[in-house]
Chains A and B, each alone.
Chain A
Amino acid sequence: MGLLNPIWLWGLTGLMIPVAIHLLSRKDMRIIHIGSLRHLVHSTTRQAIRIHLNAYGLLALRCLIVAFLALLLAGLLLPGSDNARRWLVVEGGLEQTSQWKNFVDSLEADGFELRRLQPGFPRLNDSEAKTFVPDYWMLAGQLSRVQLDRCIVISRDRASGFAGMRASADSTVTWLTSSPDSSVFVLSLNRSLPDTIIARVGRSDEMRTVYESVKVPVSQENSLMQKYTQVPAAGVSAQPAGGTQQNASASNNTISSLPHTVQELSAIRVAISGTNVALEERRIVEAAIEAISNDVIVPLQFVFVEPNGPLDGDWLIWLSADEPPTNNIASIIRKAPESPEANSIKSFRPLLYASDEAPLLSAHQSKVSNTWWITKPLTLSTAVREQFTLQLATVLLHEANSGLGWAASAYDQRVMSDENRFSMGDQLPDDSKNSHEKTSDTTQREGGGILAVIVALLFACERYIANRQQL
């Protein structure tokens, strides 16, 4: 037995009301002054006694109503059944941290089953802690389908783990957030010049993740490593949601090992060519590439080649409508042919898009294609409006960046804020201070329904008897 809001027990002082009414009404039985009592007889018959008993019964009923109402408001918890299913679901590794260890142990002593926050919810002792960011919303949905009486979830609530359909919170689930320490990490080390290492250093806390590039001479590489080599909290590594070949290889790239190899950056060579290239288009492309090369670590080399000249390089930007020569060139960015059909849909496409099968896909999504189309005539206004430089950079640097994304998400310490975590409806009580207190009562269930029924029944009885007595 326990109470959720013991303050409402003050409502029991309301018991004084019916008692007081009873006593007062006894005292103040209405007096009628009459000329003579000679024709009146004192009523001590059975009926009068019954009326008195009724009065006492009514008093008891009214007291009970007040008492039960007070208990109802106080939120009486009745002893629950012993086979109640109670789970403590912990995200991988958190059960070992000093912050949660005691909590987890006390709940286990309380009869909670320990589970992992993983698909299938394996028992904590039977399974290996997997170090990836779970799909929280999917898991929350599964949890609410498990039909638990009580469930406490301890999770890191990585923002990167919330994807897809937002789940609604289940009232039996208490969702606790383990707030992360802020971390500083080296995402990648690149050497472009012989004597300089460029490190991408990220700082991440629960609010934001910021990256910056730090240039270090090769001689100071070790001090940089000492400064930044810091294993992210609990050694979480990236794990893709899907299972494609490329993503799987990225997942092997565990964080701890990642920044230790210095990646040699080879220059990306771009050739610009075409028959009868308009001067403005050429200028725009050259300016864009120059701007990109100023801002990224990867060195970019570009050269303008006459259409008949020797073509060589990683990329060819072909700025005329006719067919470009394809030898020696891996990837081509070319102008779209001027056809009426192409014109009609041109305006809906991004300036740069990948070729062939899925022409409407954006360039970024189609990774296999190596032919890209420039859908519109390049003018200054178009280039600015469509952010040509940015699109070009995305296309050109895509391969150089591949694999870093997953590593970055593993380092990402950002936490999904409480108000966005689950869809509105029933709010989860996730105040971790209260949670300790509340979880101690989880062996009991609320008696609200029963109490409400009892109060209603008592009230009905009271009304019935009171009415009958008045007759």
Chain B
Amino acid sequence: MKTQLSDLLKPEVLHTVTGLELLARIVVEGFMSGSNRSQSIGSGQEFSQYRSYEPGDDLRQLDWKMYARSERYYIKQAEIETNITVKFMLDGSRSMAYSENNISKLQYAKVIAAALAYLARKQSDTFGLYMVNDQGVTTIQPRFEQQQFMRFLHALVEMESAGTWNQAGDLESLFDHHGKELIIFFSDLYDDDDDLQKFVSRLKTPRNEVIVFHLMGGKELALSYNGAYTFEDLENNQSVKVDTVQQQKDYAARVQHWIRDTRMWMLEKQIHYYLVEMDASFEQVLRDFLKVRKTLAR
């Protein structure tokens, strides 16, 4: 993680809207410079090219100023604006409070969500936010408005991890199968009775796209604590005494097996799975993510 960026990962920055916006901007601008444009062409705000009018074309796309100059009919083409709806969903359960290097999974997710939302705004996509825990669902409905980003950031900042995953089953509002949408789900995937798996599976429809960011700490993956510790579950407060040195190998194997299984069933459901190690920098995570998406888009 870059030092300048990690310097900003302080409560006073993370817990303000402007601070989170600043973070998102820094993260995105860091790799946006010189990035490639959209490959497909269509109507949009960004001008792409002119082509001759052909019968059947929409007259609204005719460039009348061009006709005035050249007495020819030209259709003004712009980059196609994808206009998909991006839904950010955050696992708000208490287990997301697990922190390494003074940054918790939830905070990490917040920064990445903010960065992706910033990116979405640049692309004129609508985006919304859903945070789920057993106390209910915090919702920012997807809209395309000036204030949407600020509203989004404010909701992110206000969010706190508490309780467990929603068990009440009032998540029906989240399963909205209208139109194209991109669902980005941040979670540590610590579920009870496969409730998360069921939830994620239900999110996926033929028309939408679901991306799961699986947040895992580096020490959490390898159990590299060195020594005997008492581990306490954040959600149910059970504790267990563990000699980490002795368990390291088995633990790492179990975790890798679990991750592989998760990846496999998501793959079956055509859900994109990204394992995010919290040791990696935000930019690195975003760059890897976008690179993979680009290759998939072609």
Contacts and interface: CB of A to CB of B under 8 A. Distances in A.
Contacts of A145: none
A43 B243 contact: yes
Contacts of B258: 39
A40 B251 contact: yes
B188 A30 contact: no
Contacts of B98: 33-35
Contacts of A83: none
A245 interface: no
Interface string A32-58: 111111111111010110010000000
Contacts of B95: 35-36
Contacts of A30: 227, 229-230
A32 B231 contact: yes
B36 interface: no
Interface in A10-48: 29-43, 45, 47-48
Contact of B246 (A37, A39, A43): A43
Contacts of A38: 190
Nearest to B96: A35
A29 to B, nearest CB: 5
Taking residues whose C-beta sits less than 8 angstroms from the other chain, chain A's interface range is 10 to 19
A33 B254 contact: no
A32 B217 CA distance: 13
Taking residues whose C-beta sits less than 8 angstroms from the other chain, chain B's interface range is 20 to 34
Nearest to B252: A39
Interface string B202-243: 000000000000000000100101011111111100111111
Contacts of B239: 31, 37
Nearest to A31: B230
A364 B97 CA distance: 107
Contacts of B1: none
Contacts of A42: 240-242
Interface string B48-67: 00000000000000000000
Nearest to A38: B190
A38 B240 CA distance: 11
A31 B188 contact: no
Could you tell me the dominant secondary structure of chain B's interface residues? mixed
Given A31-B239, A47-B243, A39 B254 contact: yes
Contacts of B246: 43, 45, 47-48
A29 B241 contact: yes
Contacts of B105: 35
A29 B230 CA distance: 6
Contacts, number: 83
Contacts of B254: 39
A38 B230 CA distance: 14
B32 interface: no
Given A34-B98, A35-B95, A35-B188, A40 B231 contact: yes
A31 to B, nearest CB: 5
Contacts of B280: none
Contact of B243 (A32, A33, A36, A51): A51
A32 B230 contact: yes
Contacts of A29: 228-230, 241
Contact of A31 (B96, B97, B223, B232): B232
Nearest to B93: A35
Nearest to A43: B243
Nearest to A39: B254
Contacts of B288: none
B45 interface: no
B224 to A, nearest CB: 12
Contacts of A45: 243, 246
Contacts of A34: 98, 220, 231-234
A414 to B, nearest CB: 76
B250 interface: yes
B242 A41 contact: yes
A28 to B, nearest CB: 10
Contact of B240 (A40, A47, A51): A40
Contacts of A39: 251, 254-255, 258
Contact of B190 (A36, A48, A51): A36
B231 A43 contact: no
Interface of A: 29-43, 45, 47-48, 51
28 contacts: A29-B228, A29-B229, A30-B230, A31-B229, A31-B230, A31-B231, A31-B232, A32-B225, A32-B231, A33-B232, A34-B234, A35-B105, A35-B190, A36-B233, A37-B231, A37-B239, A37-B240, A39-B251, A39-B258, A40-B240, A40-B242, A42-B242, A43-B228, A43-B241, A45-B246, A48-B228, A48-B243, A51-B228
Given A39-B254, A42-B240, 10 more contacts: A32-B229, A32-B231, A34-B232, A35-B95, A37-B231, A37-B240, A39-B251, A40-B251, A42-B241, A47-B246
